[in-house]
Amino acid sequence: MIELRSVAMSYGGTELLSDMTLKLMAGSFHFLTGPSGAGKTTFLKLCYAELMPSGGQLNLFGQDVRDLGRDDIAMLRRRVGVVHQDCQFLDHLPLLENVALPLSVAGRAVDPQELKDLLGWVGLAGQARALPPQLSGGERQRAALARAVILSPDILLADEPTGNLDWEMSLRLLTLLVELNRMGKTVVIATHDLNLIRAAKAQVPARVLRIQNRRLHLAGADL
């Protein structure tokens, strides 16, 4: 699904990531760890083509990202659900419309019952009409997750999804992500929360990747 071959990423002449080689298989569950500023967010941005690698080859769904036009990237993002730490909503639209936004963008009809079920799944059925600024941090994260999965993407990328949440809410979100993985979705979570990784490994066979010194390492054994 996502394949990196000696991928490098530079910002203004400074190499942030280098020689990254990885193959993310369908249905896998990965954690991405590393110190702040190591390049976790940059790695995720490469995975949904917000950034282009400065070196190496990056294939998304079998296509070299350098060959993709702007419309191709848009279509690709419908197959990749993204959950950011800051969630990124349209604050003037109610939660219901924010969650259904990928459907509107894709020109697909919104099934009210499916939407209701989805909001129920993330525990936000009662907040459908609320505006994003009226939601708590945990509610916003769950809403972002609902939006990320509404198009039934093949891959789910989450960037510090529990960064602003208490432990109970973090576990609740993790449970949802594990459920998605059991449904066959590939999940990649960037986090520095080792407790969250331990909790996940108790439920799914997750691999842990660590970015250190600009390179990607498999770091599952030390947890």
List contacts with another protein (CB under 8 A).
48-51, 70-71, 73-78, 82, 84, 88-93, 97, 101-102, 104-106, 147, 151
Q: Can you tell me the distance from the alpha carbon of 182 to that of 1, in angstroms, rounded to the nearest whole number?
A: 17
- Residue 89 CB, shortest distance to another protein, in Å, is 7
Closer to another protein by Cβ: residue 140 or 210: 140
Query: Please, what is the minimum distance in Å from the beta carbon of residue 187 to another protein?
Result: 18
Contact 31, 12 (CB under 8 A): no
User: How far apart are CB 164 and another protein at their closest, in Å?
Assistant: 18
Burial class (CB in 10 A: 0-12, 13-18, 19+), 166: exposed
* The dihedral sign for the CA sequence 48, 215, 58, 23: negative
- What's the closest the beta carbon of residue 129 comes to another protein, in angstroms? 15
| Of residues 33 and 41, the one with the C-beta less far from another protein | 41
Q: Are 85 and 163 in contact, with CB atoms under 8 Å apart? A: yes
- Least Å from the CB of residue 210 to another protein: 26
Nearer to another protein, 82 or 178 (CB): 82
CB-nearer residue toward another protein: 88 or 203: 88
Closest by Cα among 40, 6, 25 to 211: 40
In the complex with another protein, which residue's Cβ is closer, 97 or 193?
97
